[in-house]
Structure 1
Amino acid sequence: MNKLIVFLFFWIFFISTPAIGQDLLKSNDLRSLHVDQLSDDQIAQIQSELKANNMSIDQAETIALSKGMPKSEFAKLRGRLAATKTAASTAGNAGNVVDRKITSVSEASQNSSNPMIFGSELFNNPALSFAPNDKIATPLNYILGPGDELQISLYGVQEFNSNAAVSVEGKISLPFVGQISVSGITIEAATQKIKNSMSKVYSTLASGQSKLSVSLGNIRTIRITIIGSKLPGNYSISSLSTVYNALYIAGGPSENGSYRNIELIRGNKVIKHIDIYRFLVGGDQSDNLGLKDNDVIRIPVYKNRVTIEGEVKRPGIFEIKEGETFADLISFASGFSEVAYTATVNVVSKTEKEFKVQDISSKDFSLYKPKSGDIFKVSKILNRFENRITIEGAVFRPNQFSFVNGMRISDLVNKADGLREDAYLKRAMLVRQKDDLSTEVVEVNLANAMAGDASANIELKKEDVLTIYSSLDFKENYNVSIEGEIKRAGVYPYFENLTLNDLIIQAGGLTGAASKKVEIARMIKSEDLDNTNPRKIELLNIEIDALNNEQAQNIELLPYDIVTIRRVAVFEQPEMVNVIGEVIYPGKYVLENKDERIADVIKRAGGLSPQANILGVKIRRPVKGDQIEDLSRVDLNLGKGDTIQKKLTDKVIQLRYTTIPVDWEMILKDEKHYSNVLLVPGDEIKVTAFDEGVKVSGNVLLNSEIPYRKGKSFKYYINSVGGIDNKGWKRKSYIIYPNGKADVTSSFLFFKSYPEVQPGSQIVVPAKPETKKMTTGEIVGIASVLTSLAGVVIAILTIK
């Protein structure tokens, strides 16, 4: 850190050799700095030194201001350093300085201090700076000196305003009044002295018609010396600064510095011994005295340090003064933790030759005086109880209770507020810990114990665990089931005297489709095996009133009964199909029976309209969820992650309707034709209007619609749109007819057969599949393999 300060202020003040810079640094006076006079090379050198010493501009500011550098000049320096950094970043300079937000000098030395030393955190905490407050009213006991500036204001009948600086001779000079000596006296005394002098010139001041106000303007800078800190040296600081402020600027005591015997030296005499522990432990700032010019703060080396570890609230390294005891050390460590073993504390001490271990009992805490190097270890209390007893199970308050000698089972039960109604009285279990820490079980007749039988009412011991059983624990949880035409079919708990009516009401009542037929399947229980009767259950068939949940024949149910409410033979809700397009009466139609076909419904819709395309009748049928699930499970054995398998799966998931082509001409000739499809609920019958055009789409030069011309071939319509483009696959082209049926181009040997074209059709030309061309490397590889293979064949033939 000292090296950093040397480099920083060398470049700020000099365009000279390092020797000249170091000589000037000894003065520690930066008040005459002019940043504008520094060259760009000097600014770049400062930047480099900041980076080399891992120091931020904020940290440098704290040091520079303490040496008297004006804030305005440091602001200029900060701006020039920032500009240098930006320029270096643009040029790709690897030597950039990374500014860290460090608000105190001590943070730079934080890594070098031991955080376990009690008090070190005071100087490593950026939230604490002890900076003097320059905004407060001037203290009446403030001692004036050279460098202070007074603001003098006379107001009333006569007025006068002036700023008067205290000269090096300790005087101020006022117009028409003359020089007044104020150095070495308080501002309160100086005010009275100035008033007396000004009263001779301003008569209304003496009579009280005018008033005088004297306040402190600019505060002078004093110079102090700090010895034994992390950053020892001379510092120029505000005259309002205190001891703690100076210690903080200097980084606090060094690694071996004392926190409890810091000396404030004034006039070559020690006027105060400063103990930082008074502030840390009790918040006492009585040692935080104000500083004067040429004060010296000396931090001597510590005399006694001890370590405390384990179960204290603030373990660490503490400095002990002469006469202090272990009890004082505990108070410094903020006391024992909640689980500390306080009967004795173990301490490891040093002798002249070796270590030794001592045990300090609690009665000696205030007597034992720690020695330097002692290590105190506070352990945890044992994880066991000295008077615990436990009761569990069928009592009103199962818990752990305190054990007393002579306690018996009935006493423990009464502590738990007695037995519950379901308590099993014939037996209880007592688990007891023996002297060797193994356990044993003691049987207890609970009824006799509670009746006062001395042999059953066993005397208890600590750590006994008494378990009271519940009679409900021995009962099996039975259930019954109800299925069929019931609103909430399922399994229900069985209770004694549960009837059929109870179960029907619990399950939400019968549905409208319930029949009078009810079947009850009942488990057969028998001690003997009857080979002549293979039945495992008994079936009870009864009749009920399907319109009433309360049955006259209210059968009592048994555990595991399964009740099935049958459905009436005929109970079909009306289901519909939809007819759209060119029919006389489009709309929704109810299916009259299960055998209704498309011809029957179109007749009910008034038949086809005159504008209907007789070739354009089709059915759109919704795909059921289970059908989609079955299709999605189809495995083409194409391998995991194959794109064809994935595309198929995606199409199946998107599939919601299937199209069924209908040949209406054949149905008109014969209603028994296979095109007269049997309808299912949800079908949509669509009759398209007659369209004379033929659409051509896909990989053709122009997607268009060509007017239908009877007798013209498939190729005619493709040629009419300009033919197939370079990606078109002509031999795989296909046609979609108005009724949804499709036909493809077929070929035999060198002959191609194109499908017939009908009005309203759509011709589609698909794209050719993409083929991956072989790279040059692949061709060379294949050629190399073939060459090697040819060589092997030639060698074999040569051998023969």
Structure 2
Amino acid sequence: MNKFNNLPKALVLLFVFMSTNVLAADPVLSNEFISSETANTFESLQSQSDASNENQLGSYQQNSRQGRLLPGENDISTLLPVSEDGLPPPFGSNIFAGGFETERLDGLNEDYLIAAGDKVSIKLWGAVSISEVLTVDSQGNIFITNIGPVTVKDVKASNLNQVVTQKIRATYKDSVQIYVNLLTSTPVSVFITGNIVRPGQYAGLASDSLLYFLKRAGGIDPERGSYRDVKVLRNNKLIHQIDLYDFMVRGFLPTFNFKDKDVILVSKQRASVVVAGSVRYPFRFELKESSAIGNEVINYARPLAKVSHVGVIGDRATGPFSRYMSFSEFEGFILSDGDKLFFNDDLRAQVIDIQVSGSYLGPSYFAVKKNTRLHDLLANIPIEQYQTNFSNVYIQRKSVALKQKEMIDDSLNRLERSIFTAPASSDGEARIRAEEARMVLEFTKRARLVQPLGKVIVSDSDKVANVLLETGDVVFIPPKTDLIHIGGEVLMPQAVVFNNEALITDYIAWAGGFSERADHEQIMVIRQNGMVKMNATGNLMAGDQILVLPKVDAKIMQSVKDVTQIIYQIAVAANAIN
């Protein structure tokens, strides 16, 4: 059964549960009930939003003389990084952050080319027994006893056994078994120069990777060096030109063997653009040419799926330039050196998330259209009539909780300032003020831990206000209960069965009576709908919460009024006494 369809057709003013959290005495009523039927579909709302955003698109050029915007221009420069000191690092700069140069291999990979100085182990057994370690001489040969010289220079390590065995078989046929192994390779000396952190001459194995040598030299200079143009020269001729973006994005890195006196040249940094905003890779990206289209940067920066617009600021031949465009338009936009990009999700969500808590049937989360009101939601929530107190619905709202927290913190700050700036006319008064300050600090420290609930009162006298919902709202539908909760400054805080004839003092007596710190004249009653009444008279209602506030001794606390006010705020905002 859906009891909410039988609610009175009335609209109660929205009452926000902030500092006082009390309903107005004369709520304004309306005879109009908002139907649960929605007038527009999500698709139409989305198209309206798209049209609205498209109307706001535009570009402008800043006035180079005045620095002011022309009529109708949109200033997006505040969204983009503008400080040279605050620029993000180049894409790929972390490639040299690890200590991989200490994790080198032995260099004896199958593609290694034999060079002078390498050592080769030869073992023959059978008709002849030979075991020796030979060194490749300057002519590229090894000399085997009773066999003679065997040319192995520039032979791949994987082919060494075949080449040597073939030579030995020319002398010894099938009566000899042969085993050949490359033991060590000769180190090479490589020069590293250009835009590198520590240019110089570095030793390594011929099979060591380009990254190994760059790391030995401290890595590419992140402010001046290019990650897209690293050259390897041999005898003053270019033999390899490497784009490290291919390695960082696709894992491609050419494999080759270095030779003695090879040169690694890191070129100057090319044209680059800065990327910020809703992207997975917020870095500085080098362009292959002096300009590039937006789609090239998109492939590297990988914007999040929610991105709808891109802002671009930079310089052109006509002067400072800035433009804000849709994502699809940016894909074909021409970028230049120094451009700063901001990827933004500038389409407002047309669906909001609402949570339902308390006594109800069905799911606890709802995705509803923007501009949905409370009655529209309640009309679609089934309940059990005899277990739900549907007339005491209230909302917990994040924005209200933040405001409550802000107000409490402001009150605590004023209290601390008043205590620490109060003058003292004598030594005795100064000691009293010091003790008071200590107690106030202890109080404010604990009070700042309070997390307000952010209650919004939307019901009173069986009427529920048809308020506009916000994303993140928690709609609480209280269950029916036969209990009264007593807390605060009582001896035994507890829940007591509701008695229609009992007064507030009776319930306090059943909770053991007042504690020594209780303020007998300051008793707060909190209804199930969130309404707060101070020193309420008359009968209570099942589900009410009684809070006895503490009394601040005026003899030791000159700021008793301020402390009392803060206690009230905390009790109202969090339904608790700190």
Give the TM-score normalised by the residue count of structure 1.
0.38
Q: Distance in 2 between matches of 1:390 and 1:221?
A: 68
- Shift in CA distance, 468/419, structure 1 to aligned 2, threshold 3 Å: farther
Residue of structure 2 aligned with 1:246, choices 199, 209, 213: 213
Pair 1:133-2:136 in alignment: no
- Shift in CA distance, 420/258, structure 1 to aligned 2, threshold 3 Å: farther
Deviation at 1:217, TM superposition (A): 1.8
- Shift in CA distance, 279/446, structure 1 to aligned 2, threshold 3 Å: farther
Q: Distance in 1 between matches of 2:282 and 2:323?
A: 19
Q: Distance in 1 between matches of 2:159 and 2:247?
A: 33
- Shift in CA distance, 393/152, structure 1 to aligned 2, threshold 3 Å: closer
Q: Distance in 2 between matches of 1:367 and 1:191?
A: 56
**1:11-53 alpha-carbon deviations (Å, 9 max, x no partner):** xxxxxxxxxxxxxxxxxxxxxxxxxxxxxxxxxxxxxxxxxxx
Q: 1:146-161 to 2 correspondence within 5 Å?
A: 146-161=116-131
Deviation at 1:430, TM superposition (A): 9.7
Residue of structure 1 aligned with 2:242, choices 263, 274, 296: 274
- Shift in CA distance, 444/132, structure 1 to aligned 2, threshold 3 Å: same
Q: Which runs of 5+ in 1 are unaligned?
A: 1-111, 433-439, 450-455, 480-488, 499-506, 508-800
- Shift in CA distance, 491/357, structure 1 to aligned 2, threshold 3 Å: closer
Q: Please give the secondary structure, in 1, of the residue aligned with 2:268.
A: coil
2:496 matched residue in structure 1: 493
> Is the 1:226–1:250 contact (alpha carbons within 8 Å) kept by the matching residues of 2?
yes
- Shift in CA distance, 330/172, structure 1 to aligned 2, threshold 3 Å: same
Q: 1:66-215 to 2 correspondence within 5 Å?
A: 116-126=89-99, 128-129=100-101, 132-134=104-106, 138-187=108-157, 189-201=159-171, 203=172, 206-207=173-174, 209-215=175-181
1:293 matched residue in structure 2: 260
Deviation at 1:309, TM superposition (A): 2.1
- Shift in CA distance, 132/240, structure 1 to aligned 2, threshold 3 Å: farther
Q: Distance in 2 between matches of 1:412 and 1:390?
A: 11
Deviation at 1:160, TM superposition (A): 0.8
Deviation at 1:274, TM superposition (A): 1.0
Q: Distance in 2 between matches of 1:384 and 1:474?
A: 42
> Is the 1:425–1:445 contact (alpha carbons within 8 Å) kept by the matching residues of 2?
no
Amino acid paired to 1:300: S
> Is the 1:423–1:468 contact (alpha carbons within 8 Å) kept by the matching residues of 2?
no
> Is the 1:150–1:216 contact (alpha carbons within 8 Å) kept by the matching residues of 2?
yes
Q: Distance in 2 between matches of 1:406 and 1:118?
A: 43
- Shift in CA distance, 270/148, structure 1 to aligned 2, threshold 3 Å: same
Deviation at 1:302, TM superposition (A): 1.7
Amino acid paired to 2:97: N
Q: Distance in 1 between matches of 2:493 and 2:243?
A: 80
Deviation at 1:179, TM superposition (A): 2.3
Amino acid paired to 1:147: G
Q: Please give the secondary structure, in 2, of the residue aligned with 1:291.
A: coil
> Is the 1:403–1:461 contact (alpha carbons within 8 Å) kept by the matching residues of 2?
no
Q: Please give the secondary structure, in 1, of the residue aligned with 2:165.
A: helix
- Shift in CA distance, 413/245, structure 1 to aligned 2, threshold 3 Å: same
2:231 matched residue in structure 1: 263
1:368 matched residue in structure 2: 333
> Is the 1:140–1:186 contact (alpha carbons within 8 Å) kept by the matching residues of 2?
yes
- Shift in CA distance, 398/413, structure 1 to aligned 2, threshold 3 Å: farther
1:231 matched residue in structure 2: 198
Q: 1:453-532 to 2 correspondence within 5 Å?
A: 463=470, 470=478, 472=480, 493-494=496-497
> Is the 2:113–2:157 contact (alpha carbons within 8 Å) kept by the matching residues of 1?
yes
Q: Distance in 1 between matches of 2:168 and 2:479?
A: 106
- Shift in CA distance, 183/469, structure 1 to aligned 2, threshold 3 Å: closer
> Is the 1:117–1:318 contact (alpha carbons within 8 Å) kept by the matching residues of 2?
yes
1:321 matched residue in structure 2: 288
**1:250-288 alpha-carbon deviations (Å, 9 max, x no partner):** 222233111012122335443332111222223x14334
Q: Distance in 2 between matches of 1:169 and 1:177?
A: 17
Q: Distance in 1 between matches of 2:493 and 2:113?
A: 95
Q: Distance in 2 between matches of 1:466 and 1:131?
A: 55
1:220 matched residue in structure 2: 186
1:401 matched residue in structure 2: 366
Give the TM-score normalised by the residue count of structure 2.
0.51
Residue of structure 2 aligned with 1:415, choices 350, 361, 380: 380
1:789 matched residue in structure 2: none
Amino acid paired to 2:238: V
Q: Distance in 2 between matches of 1:347 and 1:475?
A: 62
Q: Distance in 2 between matches of 1:264 and 1:246?
A: 11
Q: Please give the secondary structure, in 1, of the residue aligned with 2:198.
A: coil
- Shift in CA distance, 390/147, structure 1 to aligned 2, threshold 3 Å: closer
Q: Please give the secondary structure, in 2, of the residue aligned with 1:125.
A: coil
> Is the 1:396–1:420 contact (alpha carbons within 8 Å) kept by the matching residues of 2?
no
Q: Which runs of 5+ in 2 are unaligned?
A: 1-84, 398-455, 502-509, 511-578
Deviation at 1:378, TM superposition (A): 3.3
Q: Distance in 1 between matches of 2:163 and 2:476?
A: 95
Higher RCO (C-alpha 8 Å, min separation 6)? 2
CA RMSD of aligned residues (A): 4.6
**1:648-699 alpha-carbon deviations (Å, 9 max, x no partner):** xxxxxxxxxxxxxxxxxxxxxxxxxxxxxxxxxxxxxxxxxxxxxxxxxxxx
**1:701-741 alpha-carbon deviations (Å, 9 max, x no partner):** xxxxxxxxxxxxxxxxxxxxxxxxxxxxxxxxxxxxxxxxx
Amino acid paired to 2:321: K
Q: Distance in 2 between matches of 1:490 and 1:391?
A: 29
Q: Distance in 2 between matches of 1:178 and 1:231?
A: 46
Amino acid paired to 1:329: V
Q: Distance in 1 between matches of 2:395 and 2:96?
A: 61
Q: What is the percentage of aligned positions where both structures have the same residue?
A: 22
> Is the 2:396–2:476 contact (alpha carbons within 8 Å) kept by the matching residues of 1?
no
> Is the 1:306–1:371 contact (alpha carbons within 8 Å) kept by the matching residues of 2?
yes
Residue of structure 2 aligned with 1:303, choices 267, 270, 276: 270
Amino acid paired to 1:119: G
Q: Please give the secondary structure, in 2, of the residue aligned with 1:270.
A: strand
Amino acid paired to 2:212: N
Deviation at 1:176, TM superposition (A): 2.4
Amino acid paired to 2:168: M
Pair 1:350-2:315 in alignment: yes
Q: Is the radius of gyration larger for structure 1 or structure 2?
A: 1
Deviation at 1:398, TM superposition (A): 8.6
Deviation at 1:462, TM superposition (A): 5.7
Q: Please give the secondary structure, in 2, of the residue aligned with 1:244.
A: helix
> Is the 2:484–2:495 contact (alpha carbons within 8 Å) kept by the matching residues of 1?
no
2:422 matched residue in structure 1: none
- Shift in CA distance, 420/216, structure 1 to aligned 2, threshold 3 Å: farther
- Shift in CA distance, 315/431, structure 1 to aligned 2, threshold 3 Å: closer
Q: Please give the secondary structure, in 2, of the residue aligned with 1:248.
A: helix
Q: Please give the secondary structure, in 2, of the residue aligned with 1:217.
A: strand
Q: Distance in 2 between matches of 1:466 and 1:200?
A: 90
> Is the 2:483–2:497 contact (alpha carbons within 8 Å) kept by the matching residues of 1?
no
Q: Distance in 2 between matches of 1:366 and 1:315?
A: 17
**1:140-169 alpha-carbon deviations (Å, 9 max, x no partner):** 443212111111111234221111111112
